[in-house]
Amino acid sequence: MLDEAASLSGLNRSAWSRQPQGDLEFAVLPEATPETSVLGSFVHHLGIRLRDHNVRPSVPRIRLRLAMDTGVVAAAALGHAGPAPVAVARYVNALQLRTVLAAHPTADLAVIVSDRLYQDVVKSGGPDLDPAQYVRVHVRAKEFGGYGWIRVPGHTPDEVRSSLTEVHERRPSREDCVPTRASLSQYVRQGAAVGRDVTGGLTVGLPVSPRPTGPGSVR
């Protein structure tokens, strides 16, 4: 389904750097990948592929959570590291995203994008990109705190908001706004995304070479 959705969106999955992680897949996309194709067409076709799969009575149903962010991604001993992989891991496991998918049994896909992607890409609109379909939430987990925007294809923003009424969303404190080494992203130029399904998973992203911080040191 992922291969088909990517192909229909003009994306080459064989060029993605994919890292299976149990029921999760993390993938880094080529740097030139247009974010609009991932956020718009790919999500659209993935939703259709999931729906077509799930209407078949003889196969186990698959429901996905997909999270996407843009930022620094660096190779690490066990896969990838950087602010973006940390952020997408927090987004994809956010209580709000889990709650929304659980509250809508007919939904096959729940998507959350970072505030940066929403402001820079989604708000500009385009095919399969309607900013009015997204609902803003504040996600806080461990050292991470940030806003994200949730969309559930086939369900209205009001339905999403209604399912979030029992989720306590603490407004970010002043401490949340203080960058830490884990959350610094001043070198962000491209994007990374991660996704996870309820019984399986997905992730996506764009690599960026971090700038050196000084002679003899590398960030």
Digit-coded pLDDT (tens) for 186-197: 222 333 343 433
Interval 86-95 mean pLDDT = 90
Highest mean pLDDT among 42-51, 71-80, 137-146, 167-176: 42-51
The pLDDT, as a whole number, for residue 166 is 64
Q: Is 75 exposed, middle or buried (0-12, 13-18, 19+ CB in 10 A)?
A: exposed
pLDDT tens profile 4-32: 999 999 999 999 888 887 888 888 888 88
- Within 10 Å of residue 207's Cβ, how many Cβ atoms? 19
pLDDT of residue 77: 67
Non-local (6+) Cβ contacts of 198 within 8 A are: 62, 63, 64, 65, 101
Q: What is the pTM assigned to this prediction?
A: 0.74
Which residue, chain included where needed, has tokens 């750097």? 17
